[in-house]
Amino acid sequence: MNNYKFSVVIPTYNAAELLRRTLQSLVTQTYKNFEVIVGDDGSTDHTREVCESFKGDLHIQYIRGENFGGPARPRNNGIKASTSEWVCFLDHDDWWAPEKLERCLVHIDRGADIVFHDLWVVKDADQKSYRKRMYSLQPGNDVYMDLLCRGKSILTSTVVVKTEIMRRIGGFSEDRILITVEDWDAWLRIAQITGKFVRINECLGYYWAGGGNMSVSKRPETIDSVYSRHLNNVNPDDRSRVLSMRAYDLGRIYQLRGDWGNAVPLLKQSLLGRSLLSFRLKSLFLLANILLRKLMRKSNG
């Protein structure tokens, strides 16, 4: 066993040049006691060569597997290979600020079991200033309920968590129905073990929105699968709150698809339910938007 403090696990697939930028951000970390594990999901490009080129600058391990079609399995391969007390997750198209690990270490030393933060949104490779921010939300006292009623509120490329905890929950689910939400499911399962979740109120990394990354449309059955797995863990008094949030999430997806027949009753359920006020207001806005579009179609028809 090596004495690395952190293992940085990067799942990747056919994104060699994006991965190069990600790895370069690790070279510049101010805290140096970490290893890098790249979990390759069966790439056919020059991903291996890019990893090899960083061997002089990073303690890097390259693990290639057959294509799974999502990040869960490559991440799990990285967790299994980790020799560190803490595992960090970083997608192949995102990258970190130089002080990321150093900032997280402060909160780890104060007793956190999982640490996360915000990200700047980047749309252009030459972008020099950053204004749009992707927020992770700090859960309240009941972490499990907050995560269940706020949706995907923790950004995976920001998470640092005890390796022992990730192994205890069995890593990320490899059920294909959960592809794109396997991280949310994992945080929920962690919240059943510990409530020591800490959000750092800083942007310590960058989310790439400039294209070339994997884009998977949200599916109602994918979102619903998370609620179905966790609903039975909620006490009867909170069940209506969770169902109201489920209605918003599903209604929003159907609204984006233009499937108003399914969207309207779900958004009404959310509006009249016990979800957070912000989500009830969002439901009202979406219902008004659908009504306006219907009236415009009618007038144009």
List, as one string, the DSSP characters of the chain: ----SEEEEEEESS-HHHHHHHHHHHHT-S---EEEEEEESS--SSHHHHHHTTTTTS-EEEEE----SSSHHHHHHHHHH--SSEEEE--TT-EE-TTHHHHHHHHHHTT-SEEEEEEEEE--TT------EEPPPPP-SSHHHHHHHH-S-S-GGG-EEEHHHHHHTTSS---GGGTTTHHHHHHHHHHTT---EEEEEEEEEEEE-SSSS------HHHHHHHHHHHGGGS-HHHHHHHHHHHHHHHHHHHHHHT-HHHHHHHHHHHHHTTS-HHHHHHHHHHHHHHHHHHHHHHHH-
pTM recorded for the entire structure: 0.92
Q: Which amino acid is at 269?
A: Q
> What are 236-284's pLDDT values in tens digits?
889 999 999 999 999 999 999 999 999 999 999 999 998 889 899 999 9
| Same domain as 172, residue 127 | yes
Mean pLDDT for the stretch of residues 276-297: 92
| Same domain as 152, residue 88 | yes
Parallel, antiparallel or unpaired: strands 114-122 and 197-208: parallel
Out of 46-60, 164-178, 237-251, 287-301, which region has the weakest mean confidence (pLDDT)? 287-301
Report the pLDDT value the prediction gives residue 296, as an integer from 0 to 100. 87
Confidence of residue 297 (pLDDT cuts 50, 70, 90): confident
Q: Does the residue 214 lie in any domain?
A: no
Confidence of residue 1 (pLDDT cuts 50, 70, 90): very low
| Same domain as 250, residue 107 | no
Q: Is the per-residue pLDDT at 137 higher than 90? A: no
Report the pLDDT value the prediction gives residue 4, as an integer from 0 to 100. 86
Number of domains in the chain: 2
> What are 115-128's pLDDT values in tens digits?
999 999 999 988 88
Mean pLDDT for the stretch of residues 52-76: 97
| Same domain as 273, residue 171 | no
| Same domain as 129, residue 93 | yes
Last residue of a domain, one of 208, 223, 249: 208
Report the pLDDT value the prediction gives residue 49, as an integer from 0 to 100. 98
Report the pLDDT value the prediction gives residue 125, as an integer from 0 to 100. 85
Give the structural domain span for 292. Answer: 235-300
Report the pLDDT value the prediction gives residue 215, as an integer from 0 to 100. 46
Report the pLDDT value the prediction gives residue 271, as an integer from 0 to 100. 95
Last residue of a domain, one of 173, 208, 243: 208
List CB contacts of 156: < 8 A, sequence separation 6 or more: 89, 91, 183
CATH number of the domain encompassing residue 38: 3.90.550.10
CA dist 44 and 244 (Å) reads 44
Q: Which amino acid is at 15?
A: A
Report the pLDDT value the prediction gives residue 211, as an integer from 0 to 100. 72
Q: Which amino acid is at 201?
A: N
Residue 212: half-sphere exposure toward Cβ, Cα within 13 Å: 19
CA dist 53 and 179 (Å) reads 30
Mean pLDDT for the stretch of residues 134-154: 88
Average pLDDT, the chain: 93
> What are 6-57's pLDDT values in tens digits?
999 999 999 999 999 999 999 999 999 999 999 999 999 999 999 999 999 9
Please give the share of the chain, as a percent, with pLDDT higher than 70: 96
List CB contacts of 46: < 8 A, sequence separation 6 or more: 16
CA dist 144 and 118 (Å) reads 20
Report the pLDDT value the prediction gives residue 217, as an integer from 0 to 100. 56
Q: Does the residue 275 lie in any domain?
A: yes
Q: Does the residue 25 lie in any domain?
A: yes
Confidence of residue 195 (pLDDT cuts 50, 70, 90): very high
Task: Please give the structure tokens belonging to residue 113.
Answer: 């079991």
Q: Is residue 20 within 8 Å of 46, Cβ to Cβ?
A: no
Confidence of residue 2 (pLDDT cuts 50, 70, 90): low
Mean pLDDT for the stretch of residues 135-156: 89
| Same domain as 196, residue 49 | yes
| Same domain as 187, residue 88 | yes
Q: Does the residue 106 lie in any domain?
A: yes
| Same domain as 196, residue 100 | yes
Q: Which residues pair with 120 in a beta bridge?
A: 133, 206
